[in-house]
Amino acid sequence: GQNIDQPTEVTAMEGATVQINCTYETTGFNGLSWYQQRDGKAPTFLSYNVLDGLDERGHFSSFFNRSKRYSYLLVKELQMKDSASYLCAVRDMVAMRPL
């Protein structure tokens, strides 16, 4: 099983940098992804983290710390089009064995 905790709402001024936090609990782990979801649209993939540290991708960057089960998404130089839901998702590790 897994449990994910992230803030319900973040408000900021245009041009600012926003940090959106995510903590999680899971029995198995195979990576953490961030998605952006605008009203009525399917989520859009932003980043995928397996290794610790900051993954800089320009407008969106993501930080990940596996031992603390913590991640955050940075949105730099905020614009009106960034108004959306941001989702973090943890993929459980799946053990495969032959039948």
pLDDT tens across 50-80, in order?
A: 889 999 988 999 999 988 989 999 999 999 9
> Of 47 and 94, which is predicted with more confidence?
47
Provide the domain count of the chain. 1
The enclosing domain of 11 has a CATH number of 2.60.40.10
End-to-end CA distance of the chain: 24
Residue-wise over 67-89: b if at least 16 C-beta within 10 A, else e?
eebebbbbbbebeeebeeebbbb
Q: What is the pLDDT of residues 20-39, one digit of tens each?
A: 999 988 777 778 999 999 99
Q: Does some domain include residue 96?
A: no
- Domain holding 29, by residue range, is 2-90
pTM for this model (two decimals): 0.82
Written as six digits, the tokens of 87 are 């989702």
